[in-house]
Chains A and B, each alone.
Chain A
Amino acid sequence: MLNNPIRLALVCATIVWLTGCASPANKQALVADDTSYGVKHPYSVSISTSGGGETSATGYTNITNEDLASAIEESITKAGLFSSVIKGSDADYKLGVSLISMSKPMFGFSFKIDMEMAWSLVHAKTGDAVMRESIKSSYTATAGEAFAAVTRIRIAVEGATQNNIRQGLQKIAALPLD
């Protein structure tokens, strides 16, 4: 069957289509701006993120720390969860979010991304941790969402991240901060 170079090329093209190559996550697609938490903590918060990384052309879709911090900040601001997000050291609370793990499927028509992030919230003055949560999320991007595998992987990464941010902010909304 593979003796014909055209057939061989088609097989290769199919493999490339099924596997795809890297495409960075779209920052705006990470924002969880569709949820109302019903709470406005009357405090300011600063955000720090870690565990993310750049997307290389030969690597896998990744989220940069900058984009993750920016998406969390925008999600908080749009939901009004805190009175303000401070870009300085004077915030009442310090939120730390670290990307711990992200699955990296290579083949398939549907791509399911499983993700874990560590969320911690610290009272800035006392240094007390008021929240330490391991938050797991996932998202499956199907062939119906995008034709190219590279796009499905990116959509799955963005969806899992957005779900994680939504869960993290729901946990924070439930905290009795003082």
Chain B
Amino acid sequence: MIQKEKPGFIIALLSILVLLHGCAINRATATVDQTTDLSSLKLFYVKKYSEDTRDTNVLIKDRLVEMGFHVSETETDVDAIVTYVDKWFWDITFYLLELTITLRDPKTDFPLATGNSFHTSLTRKSPEGMVAEVLTNIFLNNQKQGVDNAK
């Protein structure tokens, strides 16, 4: 049956399959290390991701300030360095598919806390919304640890 169809039809069919493939996946998680006291973190430095061409670092800075934290322009004497990885995807327009934000010890680079949000096209959020979701999950809705064999 397919052999009678034009290649354009097959390409269109495959495109639809790809579009429908996992089109509404949402995931938002955050974890804080057992040795981290988030209440002691007040001053941050947001380190720009080397592959970020959309200034996601500015959105993170702005959101941290909105949440009442201080953001430094240098790494000197900060309580934590904020690193992130943003993954963009195209579906009619570009959107932020996945954002991972990690708070790190400025002296040792140890990951103090991390948060991740993943929204596929049909449930896409604005970049500002993704940043807000990740930071809120880290600071307000975090789970201290995932699985604890002590239970």
| Interface positions of A (Cβ within 8 A of B) | 2-6, 8-9, 12, 46-53, 56, 58-59, 64-66, 68-69, 73, 85-89, 91, 94, 96, 98, 100-101, 116, 118, 120, 122, 129, 132-134
Alpha-carbon distance A20/B111, docked complex (angstroms): 31
Supposing A48-B34, A118-B33 touch, asked if A56 and B147 sit within 8 A by C-beta, the answer is: no
List 13 contacting pairs A-B, 8 Å CB cutoff, sorted by A: A5-B5, A5-B7, A8-B7, A48-B150, A56-B25, A58-B21, A66-B147, A69-B147, A96-B33, A98-B111, A98-B146, A120-B35, A134-B111
Q: Count B interface residues, CB 8 Å.
A: 34
Whether B111 and A100, one on each chain, are in contact in the complex, defined by CB atoms closer than 8 angstroms, is yes
User: Which residue from chain A places its CB closest to the CB of B116 in the assembled complex?
Assistant: A51
Among B21, B146, B150, which residue has its beta carbon within 8 angstroms of that of A88? B150
| Interface positions of B (Cβ within 8 A of A) | 2-3, 5, 7, 10-11, 14, 21-22, 25, 27, 29, 31, 33-35, 85, 100, 102, 104-105, 108-111, 114, 143, 145-151
Among A4, A98, A132, which residue has its beta carbon within 8 angstroms of that of B105? A132
Across-interface contacts of B27 in A (CB, < 8 A): 53
Across-interface contacts of A101 in B (CB, < 8 A): 85, 100, 102, 114
Supposing A98-B33, A100-B114 touch, asked if A5 and B3 sit within 8 A by C-beta, the answer is: yes
Whether A59 and B22, one on each chain, are in contact in the complex, defined by CB atoms closer than 8 angstroms, is yes
User: Which residue from chain A places its CB closest to the CB of B14 in the assembled complex?
Assistant: A12
